[in-house]
Every structure is written in structure tokens, then in C-alpha cells.
A and B are shown apart, each in its own frame.
Chain A
Amino acid sequence: MQRRKLLKVRTLNNLPAAAEQLLNDASGFRIFAIYGGMGAGKTTFIKEICHHLGAADSVTSPTFTLVNEYMVPGADSICHFDFYRINKITELYDFGFEEYIDSGRYCFIEWPEISEELLPDECVAVWITTEEDESRTIEYTLPGIT
């Protein structure tokens, strides 16, 4: 059974707690699809998550590069994807997306819609929504434990 959770993020100051909460709830999972419109704060949230995971590199937008990798001292590197520029699923095969997904490393995917059929069942789906007062709602579903 899937588990669903909702977090309210009023200001940027609440973001570290939200990142920590997500990582605690999703412990054991490695693949995260991060949904949200432009300016919702997807990269900013992933930046906070990577900081929690001990990334040594600065987290920047992978819109142009499609994938960024961040080193984590003493652990596997983190992969940060952005499929905003991807038009066809074959482009994902071409750059070896499946290998990243199967690598056992943390993978965070922005604009994941086009990649959905390649994502495993054990994928945490995260939605970031901007509210009228510019606060954010972060909602996520955790895959059922089988």
C-alpha cells in the first residue's frame, strides 16, 4: 500500500526540516521523481536534500546538462536529472538513463514526466505546489513495502 504525506513549507527556513522529513520517511528508497511547475523550487529542494546527504559539490540546475553528479565523501555520488529539454524517450536511452537508475545511487529527477515508464516501482513521487501566498506544499507518496 502506498503511503502519502503532506508538508507545508512557509518560508525557505522550513526547507531543511522538510528535506530531512522526506529522507527519513523515504529511507531505503533511492529514486525520487520531483514534480512541480517552473519556479516551484524543485532545484532548491534538491539542493537542500543533497546538503543533508553530505554532497560536497554545489548543487546547480541540470536543465542544460541533463544530469549533474555530486560527490559525497565516503558514499556513492548523487545523480540530479532534469528532463525539461528532453523531447523523446529515446533520448533517455541514448544517454544511459537506465544505467543511472539501476546504479543504486540516489537519483533526483526534475521534470520527470517523460521518463515515467522507465522509473521503477520503488520510486518516490514528490509534488511541489506554489500556494497563493507563495508558500509551498510538498506532497509525496512512498511506494508500498512488498
Chain B
Amino acid sequence: MSVTILAIESSCDDTSAAVVRDGFLLSNLIANQDVHRQYGGVVPELASRAHQANIVPVVDTAIKQAGVKSDEIDAVAFTRGPGLLGSLLVGASFAKGFAVARKLPLIEVNHLHAHVMAHWISEHGAENRLPRFPFLCLLVSGGHTQILIIRDHRSIEQIGSTIDDAAGEAFDKCAKVMGLGYPGGPVIDRLAAEGDSAKFSFSKPVIKDLDYSFSGLKTSFLYFLRDRLKEDPDFVKNNLNHLAASLQRTIVEILMNKLIKAADSTGILEIGIAGGVAANSGLRKAVTREAEKRKWNIFLPAMRYTTDNAAMIAITGYYKYLSADFSDHDITPLARYNL
């Protein structure tokens, strides 16, 4: 029997909808001007967190693109949290309304769990290599930096986390200090390719166990620039590539250090990365390099699954559907939703 899941993600800036059938992705839409245009609706100014304006066009387009009929949908999955309460409410309310109208089961999904579960998305015409359990995953984004163990499709355990800033924030804020705008992570990645990563060194934090800290790096980077700019007002301009490369190397080394420690202490060889910073080429290269050395079987997410997306909510919902793990309609979104 075929199982078709419609999923909605609205935890932070973007509104997204996706359809998954039997573990295979049929559509995955993130609200943008095109979605509004295709839907024939008014094209609103593309604002962050405009979920109410986005949700109907984006769901409608996702269902159409998937080529499924509304009555072929077996359940509706939605992001329950963590995220902004107001944003989550839009997705949760829409999911409930859709489920009631079509008499479908409702499935709540933890956004962080879903980022890891993105590794289980299969696509038609693709190779579709899926991780085996237990799976060790570094979830690293603008808002999160965590090391997780996933033992089956439904349970996940956090064994390390940042105690202050996320790694993505370190990228973005250091980029801002160099005048690169926000978000600056992708710009740093691009500039780093042309720079000498050994040119400058920044202090790395000493944090216990498998936890991370990135607040100190941000501050030391700031002081470093301040002192150098006193000697040479063009220091940043003349060293932009080297600064980007050195900063990226430092952040990646900090991330890898604990990931290796986690792999060694758990003995897990199935290893992946997830979240926005998983798009960083320096991190992807470092994970690939370690994998060769340490016989890891690694999983690097496709770029489209590193940002917030509903495909990952749909695949998580699909596995919950298989275990008949449904939610009641009195379920409420959670701004804080620990794994």
C-alpha cells in the first residue's frame, strides 16, 4: 500500500511544503516570488516570516507539482518546534485545518530531528544511499550546533551542544565584521577558496566533553581585526581571502575535533552532517578527508536539504506514519522543543 505525506514547515524565516510518497520525494517548495506568480495570487514583497501570505500558495503548488490528488494524501505532517511561536502557529493551524477537512491523521515533527532525517529522503532517478543505525550526525546551522546519535527512525539522542553561539552565527558575525553583510557564511566560503588558511590563527576554545563554544572565537576575531586595523587601515581589504580562509579553517577544526571525539567514543562509523553549515565546502572536505582516514561511511546532505525545507519534515512524518505515531488535534506548537 502506498503512503503519501504532505508536510509543512514554518519554524523560522521560510514557509515550505513538500509531498513524499513511500519515502520518495515528489515535491519540495519554499515560498518565493515564483510560487506566488504561478499560483496567480498577488505577489507580496518577499518578506521573512510572512507565513500567512505564503502558506496557501506554497501548499497548493507542492501538491500540484507532486502530481498527486488531494484525496491521495494519507496524513499531514507539520513542524511543531523548536522555532518562533507565531511562525509555528501558522503551519500548525493550517495542518490541523487540512487534516480536519480531509479526515486525515496529523503528525507532529521536531525540526531538529527532521534535519537529521533528511538523510533518509529518497529521490526518483537518484542513487539513494541511506544511513544505517546507529548514525552519528553533526547538526550545524545558524541557530544550532549539536552532535546527535540516531538509533532508529524515531529516536534521537543529543550528546553534545554549543554552550553559547552556533557555528553558523560565528561565520555570519565575523563576515559582518569584515563588511561582508549578513548572512555571510556563503560569502566566507567563496572567499576562502582563494585564501591561505594558514595565514592567521585564532584561539580555539577549550570546552569539556562534546560541547562547543563559538562566542570566544567571534570576540578574538574582532580584537584581532581591531589591532591590525590600527597598523594598517586597509588590512581587511588586503587580506579578505586569507581572513576568510583562516576563519573557516578554525571553525571547521573546532567542529571536526568534537565530531572525531564523538565517533571515537561511540565507535559509530556511519557519520553525517546536517543543517545550513553542512553546505560549507570546508566542512564537507574535512569530513570527507577524515572518512578516508578513519573508515567512516559518510553522508553529506544535498544543498537543497541544508536550508530549512519541508521535505525533511515529510520524510520524518513518513516514518512516524509507519509506526502509527499520530498527534491529537489539541496539540500545540512548542517554541522550545528539545530532542
Listed in ascending order, the chain A residues whose CB lies under 8 Å from chain B are 38-39, 41, 43-44, 47, 57-61, 63-69, 71, 84-85, 88, 91, 94-96, 134
Chain B residues, Cβ within 8 Å of A69 = 335-336
Indicate if the CB atoms of A38 and B222 lie closer than 8 Å: yes
Say yes or no for B184: interface residue by CB 8 A criterion: no
Indicate if the CB atoms of B165 and A61 lie closer than 8 Å: yes
Say yes or no for B329: interface residue by CB 8 A criterion: no
Chain B residues, Cβ within 8 Å of A134 = 223
Indicate if the CB atoms of A95 and B164 lie closer than 8 Å: no
| Sample of 7 A–B contacts (CB below 8 Å) | A38-B176, A58-B163, A63-B169, A67-B84, A94-B50, A94-B86, A95-B85
Please provide the chain B residues from 295 to 339 with a CB less than 8 Å away from any CB of chain A in the complex. Answer: 335-336
Besides A38-B218, A63-B143, A95-B87, 17 new A-B residue pairs in contact (Cβ under 8 A), listed by A number = A38-B222, A39-B219, A39-B223, A43-B165, A58-B163, A60-B164, A61-B166, A61-B169, A61-B215, A64-B169, A69-B335, A69-B336, A85-B182, A91-B48, A95-B49, A95-B84, A95-B86
Indicate if the CB atoms of B218 and A66 lie closer than 8 Å: no
A51 to B163, CA, bound (A): 13
A39 to B177, CA, bound (A): 10
Chain A residues, Cβ within 8 Å of B166 = 60-61, 64
A59 to B164, CA, bound (A): 7
- Greatest chain B CB density within 10 A among A58, A64, A95 is at A64
Total interface residues on B, using CB and 8 Å? Answer: 34
Indicate if the CB atoms of B82 and A94 lie closer than 8 Å: no
Chain A, Cβ-Cβ closest to B89: A96
Distance in Å: Cβ of B31 to nearest Cβ of chain A: 15
Q: A38-B176, A60-B163 are in contact. Are A66 and B84 (CB under 8 A)?
A: yes
Distance in Å: Cβ of A131 to nearest Cβ of chain B: 12
Please provide the chain B residues from 120 to 164 with a CB less than 8 Å away from any CB of chain A in the complex. Answer: 141-143, 161-164
A67 to B143, CA, bound (A): 11
Top 8 A-B pairs ranked by shortest CB distance? Answer: A64-B143, A64-B142, A39-B219, A39-B222, A95-B86, A61-B165, A96-B86, A65-B143
Listed in ascending order, the chain B residues whose CB lies under 8 Å from chain A are 12, 47-50, 82-87, 141-143, 161-166, 168-169, 172-173, 176-177, 182, 215, 218-219, 222-223, 335-336
A17 to B163, CA, bound (A): 21
Indicate if the CB atoms of A65 and B222 lie closer than 8 Å: no
A38 to B225, CA, bound (A): 13
A85 to B49, CA, bound (A): 12
Q: A69-B335, A69-B336, A95-B84 are in contact. Are A64 and B141 (CB under 8 A)?
A: yes
Chain B residues, Cβ within 8 Å of A57 = 336
Indicate if the CB atoms of A43 and B164 lie closer than 8 Å: yes
Indicate if the CB atoms of A39 and B218 lie closer than 8 Å: yes
A65 to B163, CA, bound (A): 15
Chain B, Cβ-Cβ closest to A65: B143
Indicate if the CB atoms of B219 and A65 lie closer than 8 Å: no
Chain A residues, Cβ within 8 Å of B82 = 65
Chain A residues, Cβ within 8 Å of B12 = 64-65
Indicate if the CB atoms of B219 and A60 lie closer than 8 Å: no
Chain A residues, Cβ within 8 Å of B172 = 63
Indicate if the CB atoms of B168 and A60 lie closer than 8 Å: no
Q: A44-B215, A67-B335, A69-B335 are in contact. Are A60 and B84 (CB under 8 A)?
A: no
- Greatest chain B CB density within 10 A among A47, A57, A60, A68 is at A60
Chain A, Cβ-Cβ closest to B170: A61
A75 to B165, CA, bound (A): 26
Distance in Å: Cβ of A129 to nearest Cβ of chain B: 14
Chain A residues, Cβ within 8 Å of B86 = 94-96
Chain A residues, Cβ within 8 Å of B161 = 58
Chain A residues, Cβ within 8 Å of B49 = 91, 94-95
A68 to B169, CA, bound (A): 15
Chain B residues, Cβ within 8 Å of A47 = 164
Distance in Å: Cβ of A133 to nearest Cβ of chain B: 11
- Greatest chain B CB density within 10 A among A57, A84, A88 is at A84
Chain A residues, Cβ within 8 Å of B87 = 95
Q: A38-B176, A38-B222, A91-B48 are in contact. Are A65 and B84 (CB under 8 A)?
A: yes
Distance in Å: Cβ of B78 to nearest Cβ of chain A: 18
A117 to B223, CA, bound (A): 33
